Amino acid sequence: MGGLVRVALGGLAALTLSAAGLRPAAALPPEPIEPHPPAPIVYKPDLLVSNFWKYDAYNVLVTVTNKGNASSKSCTFRLSEYYVDPYLWEVYLVASKDYSVPAISKGSSYSFWVYPKYAVYGDPYFSFVGTVDVNKVVAESNEANNESWFYGQ
C-alpha cells in the first residue's frame, strides 16, 4: 500500500491514508494542475469561395464551401465588378449584385450561377470579386477567407 488515498468525510474533514497512517489532507501538497489544459473545441462554420468556373462571357458558376466544423446560417454572396483605368491606375466599382446562399452543413458545398454585367472574357481591365457572407451574419472560425478575385481575361 504505497499510494495515497484521499478520503472526504462529508464536509467534516478530509483525511489522507498513506503507509504512515491517516493525516489531514492539508498536510499533503496540492494535486498537480495541468499547466496547459487543452483548449475547448469551438464549433464554427468557415465559408469560402472555393471555385469560379467561367462558362462563357456572362455565366459564371460559383461554389461556396463550408470548411468549418459546424453548419452555417444562410447568408449573402456579392459579385462585385471593378474596372481598372489603364491610364490613371484607378479602380472603379462599376456593378455589384447579391445572391442568396442557403445554410451549408459542415464539409459541404453549394454551387450557383452568377451573371456579371460585364463580360468576364476579353477585357484585362475588368476584375471580379466574389464575397460570401458579405453582411457578416455567420460567425466563422476564419473571417479572413470570404473573398476571392478573378480577372476578365
pLDDT at 93 over 60: yes
Which pLDDT score, from 0 to 100, does residue 1 have? 47
Higher pLDDT, 70 or 120: 70
CA 12 to chain centre: 50
Write the CB contacts of 27 (distance below 8 Å, at least 6 apart in sequence): 16
**What is the percent of the chain with per-residue pLDDT over 70, rounded to a whole number?**
79
What domains lie within the chain, and their CATH numbers? Answer: 47-151 (2.60.40.10)
The per-residue DSSP string of 65-79 comes to: EE-SSSPPPPEEEEE
Taking the mean position of all CA atoms in its chain, how far away is CA 110? Answer: 16
Query: Cα 131–152–46 angle (5° rounding)?
Result: 20
How far is residue 48 from each of residues 27, 68, 88, 112, 150, measured CA to CA in Å?
57, 10, 32, 14, 14
Q: Specify the pTM.
A: 0.73
Give the integer Cα–Cα distance in Å for 7 and 59. 73
Q: Strand 109-114's sheet: what is its strand order?
A: 47-56, 59-66, 109-114
pLDDT greater at residue 123 or residue 86: 86
Alpha helices in 7-121 (DSSP H): none
pLDDT band at 112 (very low <50, low <70, confident <90, very high): very high
pLDDT tens per residue, range 79-88: 999 998 889 9
Coil/strand/helix, residue 143: helix
- pLDDT top residue among 1 and 84: 84
Length of the chain (residues) = 153
Tens-place pLDDT, residues 34-70: 778 788 888 999 999 999 998 888 899 999 999 999 9
